[in-house]
Amino acid sequence: MNSLIKRYVAEVSRHLLEKDREEVAKELESNILDMLPPAYSEEDVKKTLNAMGNPSKLADTYRAKGRYLIGPDTFDLYLYVLKLVTVVLASVTVGINLIELFLTSVPTIASVITSILSNVAEALSGAFLSVTITFAIIDFFQVKIKNDEKWTVEELPQEIEPQGPEIRKSESIANILGSAVFIGILAGMLYKNPDIIAVYYKGNPPIPLFLAPMIKPFILVLIAFLAFSFFKGILELITGRWTKPLLLYNGILSFGFSLFILYSLNRYDLINPDCVQLLPNGMDTWVQITRLVSLLVVVLMLLDIGLKVLRVWRGSQK
């Protein structure tokens, strides 16, 4: 097939939902070829594609549902602005909450989770309302935010960019919220009071699992890894699909986090000897437990990286 036709079809498909792309691409290719003469030239292709117009506007005609509150001319920009505002507000809100947790007294797990989720939800709901109303007004008064100059085939991308598998928004949001909550718990509770992780006996004082002075630096490193995971969730939300840089970032993060966990598990000086003695055979049992957990960590890391690479590879073969 002609290169211009391929690039035009790819550009139209890029503006559609993933489930609709293959069917629309086949239909559009057929329509374009039907419009061309039997022995068409490059000029014939250019004239035909110029007549069909801007790929983004043509994609609007293939959408299954109409957009009433915000029209197709502004919807893509609306989504971009909404994602950007969401990311900035969520990050700032979580950051402010963490600062407050460090400065205040030791909170409970329930108060940490409730504080972060309620404040983030309040900020995001206000952002959604404000951005939506703004773009609805723009659309209602038909404010021109796009260039109305006539589109030509010269504006097509020179190369067809491979589209990786789509990332579910629910996965990205769960990653962002999960990382934020765990950062809050680690920063607001465990760093201030590591002894909260302990063996509790009725009528007896708790026996801490870790030695507080030794474990605190490791908690800070864990908070840093969760911050990188929070940032990964933001990138996933913005890109909407797996790309090679995002896949590389995920692989490095997963590999680095696994190495940190393996190193921490084998630092036996972090563990309170009084707690270890509660196990049958004491330290020997603890060593066996850490080896099993280490093996599980390695398996989960390989699965995480391998499955994502496989998804991207399969997506590139379509």
Mean pLDDT of the region 247-260 = 91
The C-alpha torsion from 176 through 179 and 185 to 190, rounded to 10°, is: -160
DSSP character at residue 155: G
pTM, 2 dp: 0.60
What pLDDT is stored for residue 292 in this prediction?
A: 92
Mean pLDDT of the region 171-181 = 78
**Which pair of structure tokens corresponds to residue 305?**
């990286």
What pLDDT is stored for residue 65 in this prediction?
A: 53
pLDDT at 12 over 70: yes
Residue 70's identity, in one-letter code, is I
DSSP per residue, 261-304: HHHHHT-GGGB-HHHHTTSTTTHHHHHHHHHHHHHHHHHHHHHH
Give the residue with greater pLDDT, 299 vs 22: 299
pLDDT at 223 over 80: yes
The burial of 200, by beta-carbon neighbours within 10 Å (0-12 exposed, 13-18 middle, 19 or more buried), is given as exposed
| Cα(32)–Cα(52) distance, integer angstroms | 9
34-48, 138-152, 302-316: range with lowest mean pLDDT: 138-152
pLDDT digits (tens, 9 = 90+) for 15-67: 776 677 888 888 888 888 888 888 888 888 888 888 888 887 888 777 655 54
Residues 94 and 120: beta-carbon distance below 8 Å: yes
The burial of 35, by beta-carbon neighbours within 10 Å (0-12 exposed, 13-18 middle, 19 or more buried), is given as middle
**Angstrom distances, CA of residue 70 to CA of 57, 124, 132, 141:** 15, 19, 8, 11
| Cα(311)–Cα(296) distance, integer angstroms | 22
pLDDT digits (tens, 9 = 90+) for 235-244: 887 777 788 8
Element at 79 (helix H, strand E): helix 72-103
pLDDT digits (tens, 9 = 90+) for 265-295: 888 888 889 888 888 888 899 899 999 999 9
| Cα(163)–Cα(86) distance, integer angstroms | 24
What pLDDT is stored for residue 69 in this prediction?
A: 66
Q: How would you classify the pairing of strands 207-208 and 198-199?
A: antiparallel
What pLDDT is stored for residue 253 in this prediction?
A: 92
pLDDT at 229 over 80: yes
- Exposure letters 170-198 (e unless 16+ CB within 10 A, then b): eebbebbbebbbbbbbbbbbbbbebeeee
| Cα(267)–Cα(3) distance, integer angstroms | 59
**Angstrom distances, CA of residue 75 to CA of 53, 127, 158, 184, 305:** 19, 16, 25, 35, 34
The burial of 287, by beta-carbon neighbours within 10 Å (0-12 exposed, 13-18 middle, 19 or more buried), is given as middle
Dihedrals phi, psi of 262, to nearest 5 degrees = -60, -45
Other residues' Cβ atoms within 10 Å of the Cβ of residue 63 = 15
pLDDT digits (tens, 9 = 90+) for 91-137: 777 777 766 666 655 556 566 667 777 777 787 788 788 888 887 77
Q: Give the start-end residues of each E strand in 156-232.
A: 198-199, 207-208
pLDDT at 231 over 70: yes
pLDDT at 217 over 80: yes
pLDDT at 259 over 90: yes
What pLDDT is stored for residue 16 in this prediction?
A: 77
What pLDDT is stored for residue 260 in this prediction?
A: 92
What pLDDT is stored for residue 142 in this prediction?
A: 56
Q: Which residues contact 165 (CB under 8 A, 6 or more apart)?
A: 241, 242, 311, 312, 314, 315
pLDDT at 191 over 60: yes
